[in-house]
Structures are given as structure tokens and as C-alpha cells.
Amino acid sequence: MSNRSTDDERLLYEASQNVAEQLGLSLEDWKAIVSRERTDSLEGSISLPRISKDRALHLIRIYTTLHRLVGGDDSAMKHWIKTSNHNFSAPPRSVLFTLSGMEDVLQYLEAC
């Protein structure tokens, strides 16, 4: 893996983990949402779960869209992600564990 690719992967890893935290998702939730269930070592020193770039990017897009919609209010974002929504028949958090669920949440937010 080239240094550029390693740096890009590390950035995506950290960004997706940070937005999960901002949304009030647990570390276990984040791993389940973006993980490919394999662990790789970047630069031989840090063991990182192998993440799906598509899933990580979707999570970041969900965060940025929701952030814009609620004016950056962290408590409003956490409330929205955990509160039942009739469009999903569940809290949005519960549908983030599949790529199609993430796409549904993103499409819903982008339509607002």
C-alpha cells in the first residue's frame, strides 16, 4: 500500500470514527456500520479494522447533511439519530447497519 493510500485510508478511518462519536454512536456501532470484519495494520504500528470506504463515506455524508440541517446542534443530531422516525419505521440509527439503510437515510436527509 502506498503512503498516499495509507494516509487516505487513515483519514477516512479517523473521520468516520469522529462523526460516529458526534452522532452519539458507540464504538461498537461504528465498527458494525463501517467494518469489513478484518483487521489490517497500517504502517505496521496501529491495528485498524478494515473499513468499507463506501460505508465510511456514506456515514460522513449523513453527518454533514444532518449537521447542516440542524445548524450544527450536536444534541439535535444525537436526538434525531436515536428517535423513531416513521419513514424508517425505526430510529435512523437502527438502519445504518446496511448500505441500503444508509442510502435511505441519506436520501431522506437530502430531500429535507
Q: How many CB atoms lie within 10 A of CB 17?
A: 20
Q: What is the mean pLDDT of the chain?
A: 87
In this predicted structure, what is the pLDDT of residue 49?
58
* Alpha carbon distance 43, 55 (integer Å): 23
- For the chain, the maximum distance between any two Cα atoms, rounded to a whole number of angstroms, is 46
* Alpha carbon distance 65, 59 (integer Å): 10
Tell me the C-alpha to C-alpha distance, in Å, between residue 86 and each of 72, 77, 83, 95, 102: 23, 17, 10, 12, 16
DSSP state string for 86-111:
TTTTB-HHHHTTSHHHHHHHHHHHHH
The percentage of residues in the chain with a pLDDT greater than 90, rounded to a whole number, is 70
Give the residue carrying C-alpha cell 430531500.
111
In this predicted structure, what is the pLDDT of residue 44?
45
Taking a C-beta distance cutoff of 8 angstroms, is the pair 34, 66 a contact?
Answer: no
Q: Using one digit for the tens of pLDDT, what is the confidence trace for 66-104? A: 999 999 999 999 999 999 999 999 999 999 999 999 999
Cell of 111: 430531500
